[in-house]
Chain A
């Protein structure tokens, strides 16, 4: 059984969520902090209103402080092992010495009898202090099991008689309302227009889009500053997203957020002026492929939202079909209002020779953009596949799907396969069972993985991370669907690619994972010797052989659950036949048989279940085994509880990047 391991990048006991030891640069030192006066005014008004207001009083958003209880851990087990609990006065002194912690109160026994009642020499006390969640997590880690750190919670009377009476009718705006002005800026403090802004409270979020001044005002009813859970800003392009849990919003000042340009990522230095390989392409070793391996002679269809050929990375796409408008104007496939198809097409076949942006996997493949969105339906997907059969397309990228299977679509998928059309399908983003048509036996289903340290710690990509991370920092994306249908996994978190008119955006999704495999499939068909000989003829056997090569080229992603990653992450050099398969060859060959699949995915094979059955083991995986060694008296249940609590509430501090860094 495979075991998950702690990431190499995970720091232990790091101070306050500070940055990891990686090469990532720190966040720019608050260009919007305090009273930057470079912008003249801030406006308000939901979804882009423009009420003029002075902006001298700006507030740079950071994590909000909450109230915590901190105390020395005292268990009989510790005394039996000759270990003394931490001194309460020492804890209090230490906390008071930390500038980012506000000590509110110290609660202890009222009498000496109370102090001696539990057999310890010193009066135990609990410090009540305010700090950020990241700081609380850091304290807990630094305490190495000897410190209790708990969020202070509201108590409620449980007597039924105290329940409020039900009343008829609701006045939606009668309660308290929180109104916050958000200013979004980017490089050189320039306002960022058209950024989507989401403010999450306890129920539905307030949403809006920034106006030409980069401003939007959002109102949440029934919420206060203290109950706001998070702020999410999704720029249209050119910047990383921003995500802050428990933001310390101001209702009096403009809340300023300074977005990071994409080029702040070490792997995207000077991007897009300098052409770059994305982390996902490097993980699949595309950057090691000889320059003349470009997928020439292979036809790839991207069934999606079209392809914006105004983009310098997509301007060589010559073919397409607008299925949505096929009766009125089938040639509008090159207008992509959604940008999704352009993003996928860039991953597959972004231009290689322009020395800028992103090079796709198969830049010389003949791309056909089949436009199905907005508004795509199953019947139109059947129509798109008909186009693919007719045009003798070799590989089809389907970063789409639905919940319910369709018998009519299944027959068309089978028809396409028999015609030699290989469909590569995204597994879905619901975090549940693989969606359709990825669940079809006639396609290759792709799950999404991410990699730590490939995105900023204050970006929304952090929300894709689970605590199960392999030794290389790879993890199964939280949103990715899973199940026995998953053939392979591919990079699907923080993927940079082209969006219209001529920009770049970083997106997440199995939608982004599938094009990595589609591009790889084009390379295989163009360059693997099998497809110049035995499997030259277009038929189902050719498609099956292609799928088999993709699976066999995969390096295992060791997350302990093959239903999340299938055979693993395919390797470009192995897949095109330039390098032999290493390590997993025998397994992979055997694994192509139905018997192996049944064994591997059969009932009872659940490594997670074993980990949960052993909380200490789980804790070791989450926090790192070394940290806990030699600590006596740790209650495994408590360890597991804290592990799950912090994993839920503050995932990213464990992962080696903090607010100060990535």
Chain B
């Protein structure tokens, strides 16, 4: 089954940091926030660089503002991809 992209009020967001410790902190903090739902992590075992969360758009905007200045954590909406055959 394809992964859920939205539960109605929440959308999928990618959170990425090249600093594994920073991402780990983000994930720890997210566990205490009921608005954030961790879907998966991507990266080498134990040191992921990317996490996928379900969260409301407003929450994502707030987090983007909070982390935007540091420029060390990327938070962006997960977007669909298309295949490039003639119908795609």
**Residues in chain A within 8 A of chain B (CB atoms):** 304-305, 324-325, 328, 338, 340, 343, 372-383, 386, 390, 399-402, 404, 406-408, 411-412, 415, 426-429, 460, 464, 479, 507-512, 514
Contacts and interface: CB of A to CB of B under 8 A. Distances in A.
B74 A408 contact: yes
Contacts of B50: 379, 382, 408, 412
A511 B88 contact: yes
B35 interface: no
A456 B82 CA distance: 28
B38 to A, nearest CB: 12
B84 A406 contact: no
A511 B49 CA distance: 29
A400 B83 contact: yes
Which 4 pairs between the two chains have the least Cβ-Cβ distance? A511-B84, A375-B2, A509-B85, A508-B86
B55 interface: no
B88 A411 contact: no
Contacts of A401: 81-82, 84
Contacts of B74: 407-408, 411
A314 B5 CA distance: 32
Interface in B35-61: 40, 42-44, 49-50, 52
Interface of B: 1-3, 5, 12, 14, 16, 18, 40, 42-44, 49-50, 52, 74, 76, 78-86, 88
Contacts of B85: 340, 343, 399, 429, 507-509, 511-512
Nearest to A514: B84
B1 A408 contact: no
A415 B5 CA distance: 26
Contacts of B43: 386
Contact of B76 (A386, A399, A408, A426): A408
B82 A400 contact: yes
B22 to A, nearest CB: 13
Contact of A429 (B3, B44, B88): B88
B42 A507 contact: no
19 contacts: A325-B2, A376-B81, A377-B12, A377-B81, A378-B78, A378-B79, A378-B81, A379-B14, A379-B50, A382-B42, A386-B44, A399-B84, A400-B81, A400-B83, A401-B82, A407-B76, A508-B85, A511-B85, A512-B85
Contact of A376 (B14, B80, B86): B80
A402 B83 contact: no
B16 to A, nearest CB: 4
Contacts of B12: 377, 379
Given A373-B83, A412-B49, 11 more contacts: A324-B3, A379-B50, A379-B78, A380-B3, A381-B81, A401-B84, A407-B76, A408-B16, A429-B85, A429-B88, A507-B86
B2 A324 contact: yes
Contacts of B81: 372-373, 376-378, 381, 400-402
A325 to B, nearest CB: 7
A338 to B, nearest CB: 7
Classify the secondary structure of B's interface with A: loop
A304 to B, nearest CB: 7
A479 B87 CA distance: 11
B42 A377 contact: no
A428 B84 CA distance: 6
Contacts of A399: 83-85
Contacts of B88: 340, 429, 509, 511
A400 B44 CA distance: 25
Q: Which of B5, B16, B85 has the most CB of A within 10 A?
A: B85
Nearest to A415: B49
Q: Which of B12, B40, B42 has the most CB of A within 10 A?
A: B42
B29 to A, nearest CB: 19
Contacts of A415: 49
A400 B82 CA distance: 5
B83 A338 contact: yes
Contacts of B2: 324-325, 374-375
Contacts of B49: 411-412, 415
B52 A426 contact: no
A382 B16 CA distance: 10
A510 to B, nearest CB: 5
Nearest to B51: A379
A383 B86 contact: no
Contact of A400 (B14, B76, B84): B84
B39 to A, nearest CB: 8
Nearest to A425: B84
A382 B86 contact: no
B10 to A, nearest CB: 14
Nearest to B42: A383
Nearest to B18: A411
B1 to A, nearest CB: 6
Nearest to A481: B84
A200 to B, nearest CB: 15
A262 B40 CA distance: 45
Given A324-B3, A386-B42, A408 B84 contact: no
Nearest to A512: B85
A370 to B, nearest CB: 13
A328 B12 CA distance: 19
Contacts of B82: 400-402
Contacts of B44: 386, 390
A411 B71 CA distance: 13
A155 to B, nearest CB: 37
Given A377-B79, A406-B79, A407-B74, A325 B14 contact: no
A389 to B, nearest CB: 9
B79 A404 contact: yes
Q: Which of B3, B74, B78, B83 has the most CB of A within 10 A?
A: B83
Contacts of A514: 84
Contacts of A340: 83, 85, 88
Contacts of A377: 3, 5, 12, 78-81
Contacts of A511: 83-85, 88
A217 to B, nearest CB: 22
Given A386-B42, A408-B76, A509-B86, A325 B16 contact: no
Nearest to B13: A379
A411 B82 CA distance: 20
B80 to A, nearest CB: 5
A510 B84 contact: yes
Contacts of B40: 379, 383
Contacts of A402: 79-82
